Chains A and B, each alone.
Chain A
Amino acid sequence: MSPVVQSRGKKITAADNLYTVILAVAFLAVFATAVFVAYQCYTQYGTFFKIQ
C-alpha cells in the first residue's frame, strides 16, 4: 500500500495500511473466536457440527 497523495489541501489522513491492519485484527478476532468455539465443541461434544 502506498501513501495517498494529497492533491487538494493539506488534510492529514491515515494510511490505508492502518485500515488493513484494523481489518486484520477484526479477522483475527473472528478467527480466534471461531477456533475457540470449535475447540470447545470438540472437547465437549467430540465433534464440530454433528449432533449425536
Chain B
Amino acid sequence: MSTLTKVLIVLLTFASIVLCAIVVTYVANADNYKQKYDDQFGRYQSAKKNEDNAKTQLNNTIEAKDRDAEKLGEQIALLKEEKSKLEIDLATVIRERDNANDKVRNWVSTVTDFSKTLENYENLLKNALRDRDLKEAELIKQDKELKDTTAALMENMAIVRQLQDESKRLLEEKTELQNKLDQYLRQFGKVIGEPMPVTPEEGAVSLAPPTTDIDLSGSITEIDLKNLLAEISIGTADGVKEGMRFHLTRGDKFICDLVILDVWPERAVGWIELLQDQPQNQPQVNDKVSTNL
C-alpha cells in the first residue's frame, strides 16, 4: 500500500469523523419543524373553529337583532297609535275641564248673587219682624182701647135706652099737654103752630170717602247720618205733612224709613228710622223716597 493511500485513508477517516460530528451536532440541534407545523396547524384549526363560531354567533345575533327590530317596530307603531288616542283623549279632557271651569265660575257668580239676595231678604225679614212686633204692640193697645170703647159704648147704650124711655115718656106728656092746650086754644079759635125743635136735627150718617194712596215720591237732597236726619226734595207744595212716613229705596233695595219732622214749601226734613248696619245699605244723596213701596 502506498504512502499516499495511507495518507488519504487517514485524511478520509479524519474528515469523515469531523463531518459526522458536524452532522450529528446539526441534526441534534435542528428544530422540529413538523412539531411546530402541527402546533401551528392546531392553532389554525382552533382559530378557524373560533371564526366559524363567531360567524354563527354573529348571524344569530343579527337575526335576533332583526327580530327585535321588527318587534320594536310593531311596539312603536302600537305606541304611536296609543299616543294619538291619548292625545285625542287629552284634548277632550281639556275641553271638558274648561267647560267645567266655566260652569264653576257661573255657579260661583250665581251663588254670590244668591247670597246677596238672601242677605237682602234676611234684612227685609228682620225689618218685617220688627214691624210686625210694633204692629202687634199697637194691635194690643188698640184692642185695649176697643175694649174700653166697647165698655163705654155699652154704658152709652144704657144711657141712650134710659134717654129713649124718658123721651117716650116726655113725648107722651107732650102729647097729653098738646091735647090739653089744643082743647084750651080751640076755645079761642087758635091752633098750635108746627113745633120747632130747640136743637137742630142731626143729618143722616154718610159713608166716609174711600181711602186712596197718597203716592208722593222724591229724592234725598241732603243727609246727616250723625244726627239721623235727611232732607227731601218735596214739601208742602206737593202735599207733604208732618208725621208722614216715607220709604227710602235704591233700585229694588229697601234702605230705611223717614218720618217727616218739619216741612217747607219745596223741601222737608225727617228722622231716619230702621237704619241698617251694612255700609252699602246706608242712605245716600239721590236715593228715592216715596210714601208707598
Contact = CB atoms under 8 A, between A and B. Distances in A.
Q: How large is the interface on B (under 10, 10 to 19, 20 to 34, 35 or more residues)?
A: 20 to 34
Given A33-B23, A37-B23, A44 B9 contact: no
Interface residues of A, number: 19
A27 B33 CA distance: 30
B84 interface: no
Contacts of B293: none
Given A23-B12, A25-B17, A26-B17, 9 more contacts: A14-B6, A19-B10, A26-B13, A26-B16, A33-B24, A37-B27, A40-B27, A45-B34, A46-B34
Interface residue SS majority, chain B: helix
A23 B15 CA distance: 11
B2 to A, nearest CB: 11
Contact of B6 (A19, A32, A36, A44): A19
B1 A30 contact: no
Interface of A: 4, 14, 16, 19, 22-23, 25-27, 29-30, 32-33, 36-37, 40, 44-46
Residue of B5, B6, B13 most packed against chain A (CB within 10 A) = B13
Nearest to A45: B34
B35 interface: yes
Contacts of B13: 22-23, 25-26, 29
A33 B20 contact: yes
A36 B16 contact: no
B23 A26 contact: no
B9 A23 contact: yes
Nearest to B13: A26
B27 A36 contact: yes
Contacts of A30: 16, 20
A41 B274 CA distance: 142
